[in-house]
Amino acid sequence: MARLGVNIDHVATVRQARNTYEPDPVWAATLAELAGADGITVHLREDRRHIQERDVRLLRETVHVKLNLELACEAGVLEIACRLKPDQATLVPERREEVTTEGGLDVVANRQQVHDAVSQLRAAGIVVSLFIDPVAEQVEAAAASQAEAIELHTGCYALATGSRQAAELARLIEAGRLARQRGLILNAGHGLNYQNVGPVAAIAEMDELNIGHSIVARAVMVGMDRAVREMKALLSPIV
Ligand code: PXP
């Protein structure tokens, strides 16, 4: 059964809209954990548009499931990660003008930079995952970088419809198979929601799905507890 990492960035987005103290992502993490989340994920972006360093510090103290920090290969944020020691760090590409992370990390084109970041994080005792597109060359480069895990970018799958969606799912399955052959832990995420998560959760040896926007959006309407429990139920195989 795939585990559920709840990304709470957009709780912080609402807080930052008024530059105030509520809603606090720390509250959201506690509620998600109590509802059965297997992990809490946050992205400390360079522009600090939602999650702040203070949030990561408090989450490190209060989250008792896996804490996964998404970050770019950038010196300042790597230093924060090594100091605060999340359980896992997921390296992502970052562009200031993007609404959300738009593509996977290009490990092939940035081998040395990624390798150095992986080494720095692993030396601090942090498990490293690389957020990559479901492309064989990227999986091979991720394995060569000494990262322990990859997170397959499910954005194209999430946006596709009809036969195109089946083709995108096949790419995820193929890349996932290669990753497992190379000994990488297999994670996935981006754009997953209550309608499209099932087939991705069913991919063989899928370890963890990181899901943010759809859970936070539902939580606004029905509460965090129910939103997390409903997503958790969709990740369990029907017996
Ligand atoms: N995984 C990664 C690496 C991400 O950057 C994001 C978005 O922050 C997610 C998962 C979650 O995506 P979504 O909010 O679309 O569920």
Instruction: Determine the Cα–Cα distance for residues 53 and 156; give it in Å rounded to an integer.
Output: 30
Domain assignment of residue 158, yes or no: yes
Assess whether 190 carries a catalytic annotation.
Answer: yes
Q: Is 43 a catalytic residue?
A: yes
Domain that holds residue 117: 3-234
Structural domains in the chain (count) = 1
CA of 212 from ligand 1 middle (Å) equals 6
**One-letter amino acid for residue 177 of the chain:** R
In a domain, 239, yes or no: no
Q: Does residue 67 sit within a domain?
A: yes
Nearest to 229 by CA among 181, 194, 186, 189: 194
Q: What is the pTM of this model?
A: 0.96
158: domain CATH number?
3.20.20.70
CB 209 within 8 A of CB 186: no
What's the CA-to-centroid distance between 196 and ligand 1, angstroms? 15
Judge whether 26 lies within some domain.
Answer: yes
In a domain, 118, yes or no: yes
Residue 169 placed within a domain: yes
pLDDT in tens, the chain (239 residues): 999 999 999 999 999 999 999 999 999 999 999 999 999 999 999 999 999 999 999 999 999 999 999 999 999 999 999 999 999 999 999 876 666 667 899 999 999 999 999 999 999 999 999 999 999 999 999 999 999 999 999 999 999 999 999 999 999 999 999 999 999 999 999 999 999 999 999 999 999 999 999 999 999 999 999 999 999 999 986 65
For residue 164, how many other CB atoms are within 10 A of its CB? 12
CA–CA distance, 178 with 152 (Å, rounded to integer): 12
